[in-house]
Amino acid sequence: MPGITDGIENLLMQETDPYTVSAQLTGDGMLDSASSVATGNADSTLFASKKELGKMDFLKLLTTQLQFQDPLEPMENTEFVSQLAQFSALEGTSNVEQAINDMNDSYKDSLDLQSFSALSMTNASAVSLIGKHVRIGQTTVRYSGIPGEEEAIRVHLGNNNTATVKILDDNGETVKTFNAGGKDAENSVELAWDGTDDNGEYVKAGTYYLYVEGQDTDSALYCYLEDVVSGVRYTSDGPMVKIGGKELPLGNILDISMVDSDTSVVNDQMNTNTLSLLGKTVKYRKSQLTLTPAQGQFLNFSVDLGGYESGIVEVKDAAGVVVYSMKVEANSGDIAQGTIVCSDFNQNGPYTVSVAGNSSAYFVNEGVVEGISTVDGITKVKVNGITVSLSEIVEISNTTKTS
């Protein structure tokens, strides 16, 4: 029956049969397996099994069954109703599954929004810590690699008279061991590490880990820094508090108190809104700089290379043609500095300065917040005569930049 064959081919969306098997019959009417011949591709989509049978597949099977049923012996009503019920159940299950997926997507979006909101509130509240006296837990110590320089380490003993303090490397191996004793009135001991290991050999420069034996079961045992917060820097891992020449995570703060100074009185009146930024020195990022030689003979710049050790700073004219380039290398964390001699260019500009092939890099400018503006409902601060979005600020300090 060609009609049935054509209908099956259309159902399976195959123009030709990709796999053919032929055989002969023996004299007694049995299949001769020795004469069987197979041609074509048995791995075609015709033989590929589907992981799931969707409602459209079920509907195609049902309509094809009705199309080619025997008119002399049509499908029984009960059988037809039963298949319709199966189709309805399949469609209902599919709809429920889709609803659950939609609910899951909505829940994820809600969690992301809550996380972003919490991070924004944390970043804003961190500003009010500037000028406060804090005690913050210290878990790492950085050795400069310069012989003779010492790193101070303060250890809180609580009710313990002594404790063993270890300095560990990246592999968790003990580099230096101290026996801390003779605590002061605050139950603390101050140690000094000169960068040597237990054998008296200098270790290489880098960051090492601090561990007080027993700190896992006694919360009174810990290493810490105690000083006035001089600034806050925002990172992808959250705000970092600048204290005692070091940067430590905001979540490590153990205690906050006021200090008896004019600065503390001012900061005590600060709240988490943008007004607290007035008079603060901020560092803000720009993806590129504008250079106009007529404005000066030199352009000094700082650029954060975003984890790279070096980069290529390019100067492009108004047509986007590179007219000058220079290689810079990070010398303090990810920060690199450089100077562009403006007299090297024939035209007054303007030119654009950017880092080639590094989308993570940005230039860092610094200035004092002179004012606050709100345009189209977006709050920005005024620094160096220009408006800067709050999202572009990467560091805030309490010092006043003098000209």
Q: Kindly list the distances between the CA atom of residue 140 and the CA atoms of 153, 154, 203, 248, 249, in Å, as whole numbers in the listed order.
A: 10, 12, 15, 9, 11
Does residue 149 or residue 117 have the better pLDDT? 149
Tokens of 98: 């889709």
How much is the pTM?
0.42
What domains lie within the chain, and their CATH numbers?
A: 133-270 (2.60.40.4070), 281-397 (no CATH)
Give 261's pLDDT tier (boundaries 50, 70, 90). very low
Residue 151 has pLDDT above 80, yes or no: yes
Tokens of 327: 């290689």
Sheet holding 174-181, edge to edge: 140-143, 206-212, 162-168, 174-181
pLDDT number for residue 320: 85
Helical pair 55-67 and 77-127, crossing angle rounded to 10 deg: 160
pLDDT number for residue 203: 93
What is the tens place of the pLDDT at every residue in 97-111?
777 877 777 666 666
What is the tens place of the pLDDT at every residue in 281-311?
888 888 888 877 765 677 888 898 877 888 9
pLDDT number for residue 331: 82
Does residue 221 or residue 116 have the better pLDDT? 221
pLDDT number for residue 377: 60
Q: Please state, rounded to an integer, the average pLDDT across all residues of the chain.
A: 75
Between 170-174, 272-276, 315-319, the lowest mean confidence (pLDDT) is in: 272-276
pLDDT number for residue 231: 85
